[in-house]
Amino acid sequence: MSKIIDGLYYSESHEYVRVEGNVGFIGITDYAQHALGNVVYVDMPEVDDEVSAGEEFGAVESVKAASDLISPVSGVVLEVNEALEDEPGLINKDAFENWIIKVELSDKGELDDLMDAGGYKAMLGE
């Protein structure tokens, strides 16, 4: 059974957002990293790039598949998790600790379109 954390927002494409003030930490869920297997590369945007809800912002590649990253929210990239450039497998160790990008949220109302932990559990059938 996948680890799902209360208090985060979840998308149908298995990304999460942890919100602190007006900043969103975006990564992939535990379910997604299990489905991918050993992550070998993370393609991330540049700082100051804009991301849009529902649009691709990068990709995660594993030994068995590549998966596009779909942003759950819109905003400007404040930071990318540089640790993942050297050690992409950190996502497999703890997908929730090892976020991929940090964005300044441009529309917090978009969070209403995402699922809470209960909704995500129900979608996964867990």
What's the structural domain count of the chain? 1
* Euclidean distance between CA atoms 16 and 3, whole angstroms: 12
Residue 63, domain extent: 9-115
**β-strand pairing of 101-105 with 75-80:** antiparallel
What is the tens place of the pLDDT at every residue in 60-109? 999 989 999 999 999 999 999 999 999 999 999 999 999 999 999 999 99
pLDDT, position 11: 98
Considering the domain boundaries, does residue 2 fall inside one? no
pLDDT, position 126: 82
Nearest to 27 by CA among 87, 86, 85, 103: 103
Considering the domain boundaries, does residue 125 fall inside one? no
What CATH number corresponds to the domain at position 13?
2.40.50.100
